[in-house]
Amino acid sequence: MQQPAEDFRTDRLISIVIPVFNGADSIGHVVERVRATFHNQQFEIVLVNDASHDDSEQVCQELVERFSESVVLVQLSRNFGEHNAVLAGLRLSRGDYVAVMDDDAQNPPEEIPRMLAALEEKNLDVVYGRYVGRKHSLGRRVGSWLNDRMATIMLRKPPDLYLSSFKIMNRFIVDQISRYGGPFPYIDGLIFRASTRVDQIDVKHDERLSGASNYTLRRLIRLWLNMFLGFSIIPLRASVVLGFCASFLSFLGIVAIVVDKIWVNPQLTVGIPTVLACIVFFSGVQLIVLGAVGEYVGRIFLDGSGMPQSVVRYVRRGGQDDE
């Protein structure tokens, strides 16, 4: 049963961080629902506009003017991606607890009190919302499933834990993950680096208010690579295993060719086709290994060269800009 927000203690501040990208048609509705949910609770809403292509910046500015006591706008200078935007919002949040939700109205803010109650009752650092009756498209579901399976391997998360973008965290874990300064953040990876006190509860999942998901195949691949290469050395270890397996298979192939030539089919011509097959096989293995190593080296270079995680153009609070 949903616990109303007014039943909570009022001596704590709850921050709601919302990354905004092309959400001009829905973000106002989301803010209104958050305000209705926490009308008797200390709260703040941190909107992080990730350089949207629509009128999101103007809409967010109007929301700050209307609700100057509770809404803050963080405007990024260009599009950096959802996780970068969330980290920018987390750093500017002031709450004892911080919830993260989407701008498309699919995450009901009315579920946050239940998530917060579970966080406190079980002494957890993070509580995820596991969607009941997901309204995502088939492509998004497949991408999420692949990402979830990979996270189980890479991050060693519990297999039944669903890493949704709808979550609530305490101040301790927010401070820990906010220290990350690399250009390729992955929020869930940072969480599992810092804590294992993580759980989930079932929450509703509403229909999108308008438009389509901003998670294209390209964005899903980029997110997957951030987790795959940014928070584990398993790909490098897999490259070593792949190399050994390729060498072993090649050795078996050579033995089979020799046996076939001497005892089975002496008339068999062993020459260019065999050599070409071996070259192609080993070239593929080398490209896989070099690609994995090159990606790691490239990320180290970009990190060392000072590539920014995000650039804040301005922060607007109550009609005033903090440059």
What CA–CA distance (Å, rounded) separates 300 from 236?
15
Q: Could you tell me what percent of the chain has a pLDDT over 70?
A: 81
Q: Greater confidence, 268 or 7?
A: 268
Q: Please give the pLDDT value at position 231.
A: 67
Q: 28: which 2 tokens?
A: 């106002």
- Statement: residue 1 has pLDDT above 60: no
Q: 244: which 2 tokens?
A: 């050994």
What CA–CA distance (Å, rounded) separates 100 from 195?
18
Lowest mean pLDDT among 17-31, 183-197, 259-273, 298-312: 259-273
φ, ψ of residue 173 to 5 degrees: the values are -70, -30
Q: How far is CA 234 from the centre of its chain?
A: 19
Q: 4: which 2 tokens?
A: 């109303």
| Half-sphere exposure of residue 93: CA atoms within 13 angstroms, side-chain side | 36
pLDDT in tens, 255-268: 777 777 778 777 76
What CA–CA distance (Å, rounded) separates 47 from 58?
12
Q: 296: which 2 tokens?
A: 């790691």
Grade residue 174 by pLDDT with cuts at 50, 70 and 90. very high
Q: 117: which 2 tokens?
A: 């109650």
φ, ψ of residue 15 to 5 degrees: the values are -105, 140
pLDDT in tens, 29-86: 999 999 999 999 999 999 999 999 999 999 999 999 999 999 999 999 999 999 999 9
pLDDT in tens, 210-254: 766 666 666 666 666 776 666 666 676 677 777 777 777 777 777
- Statement: residue 7 has pLDDT above 60: no
Closest CA to 321 of 47, 79, 74: 74
| Residue 168 host element (H or E) | strand 167-170
Q: Please give the pLDDT value at position 3.
A: 46
Compute how many other C-beta atoms are within 10 angstroms of the C-beta atom of residue 70.
19
Q: 270: which 2 tokens?
A: 């062993």
126-141 average pLDDT score: 80
- If DSSP codes are grouped into helix, strand and coil, which group holds residue 100? strand
Place of tokens 């917060």: 116
Q: Please give the pLDDT value at position 320.
A: 66
Largest CA distance in the chain: 89
- Residue 251 · residue 174 · CB < 8 Å: no
- Statement: residue 196 has pLDDT above 90: yes
- Residue 32 · residue 114 · CB < 8 Å: no
Q: 182: which 2 tokens?
A: 């690399």
Alpha helices per DSSP H over the chain: 27-37, 56-66, 82-92, 112-121, 138-154, 171-177, 187-194, 217-230, 234-259, 272-304
Which range scores top for mean pLDDT: 123-137, 144-158, 237-251? 123-137
What CA–CA distance (Å, rounded) separates 139 from 155?
23
Q: How far is CA 42 from the centre of its chain?
A: 28
